[in-house]
């Protein structure tokens, strides 16, 4: 039995990248929790502090909340495509951005990934299983697979069996 190297590569896949309602709910819950905490502090424990400090804390909360929602609204959307060599984000009505993809958070049914296009700033993309459940497995295999070399198995040199003495 000869030991011929076998190379398995993930299939080419295209997956929709959409703004996540789940992520928006989490961000909204965190923002609300921050507001309620600030409100409780202002009513119950901030009487020793001057009102400009309390107002400044509420303004800081508002600023952080606005920046967070702006970042969520600017999450890239489109079609994320893997061809075996590189990832490409194909936004609607714009040219695609090609580069490497790294996974930063894996929640099994949700992925936070970063696309590093050549010559452009990194793009954070949130992917969810419910966007295309029938392709989720293919996407996960592609995300965790190694980049192909472009060579097929037939082009690889066969290993010579060990000779007998």
- Predicted TM-score (pTM) of the model is 0.71
Tens of pLDDT, residues 78-114:
999 998 888 999 987 677 889 999 999 999 999 999 9
Contacts of the segment 86-91: beta carbons below 8 A, 24+ positions apart: 86/147, 87/115, 89/17, 89/115, 89/117, 89/123, 89/125
CATH class of 13-18+77-146: mainly beta
What pLDDT is stored for residue 79 in this prediction? 93
Domain residues of the chain, as ranges? 13-18+77-146, 21-73
Tens of pLDDT, residues 108-159:
999 999 999 988 899 999 999 999 999 999 999 999 987 655 444 333 334 4
């Amino acid at each position: 039995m000869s030991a011929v190297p076998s190379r398995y590569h993930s299939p080419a896949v295209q997956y929709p990248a959409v703004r996540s309602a789940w992520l928006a709910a989490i961000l909204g819950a965190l923002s609300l929790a921050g507001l309620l905490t600030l409100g409780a502090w202002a009513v119950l424990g901030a009487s020793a502090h001057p009102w400009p400090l309390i107002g400044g804390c509420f303004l800081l909360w508002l600023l952080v909340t606005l920046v967070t929602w702006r970042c969520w609204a600017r999450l890239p959307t489109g079609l994320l495509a893997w061809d075996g060599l590189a990832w490409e984000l194909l936004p609607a009505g714009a040219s695609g951005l090609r580069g490497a993809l790294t996974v930063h958070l894996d929640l099994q049914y949700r992925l936070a990934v970063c696309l590093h296009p050549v010559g452009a700033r990194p793009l954070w993309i949130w992917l969810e299983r419910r966007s295309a459940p029938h392709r989720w497995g293919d996407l996960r295999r592609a995300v965790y697979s190694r980049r192909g070399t472009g060579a097929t198995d037939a082009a690889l040199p066969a290993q010579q069996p060990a000779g007998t003495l």
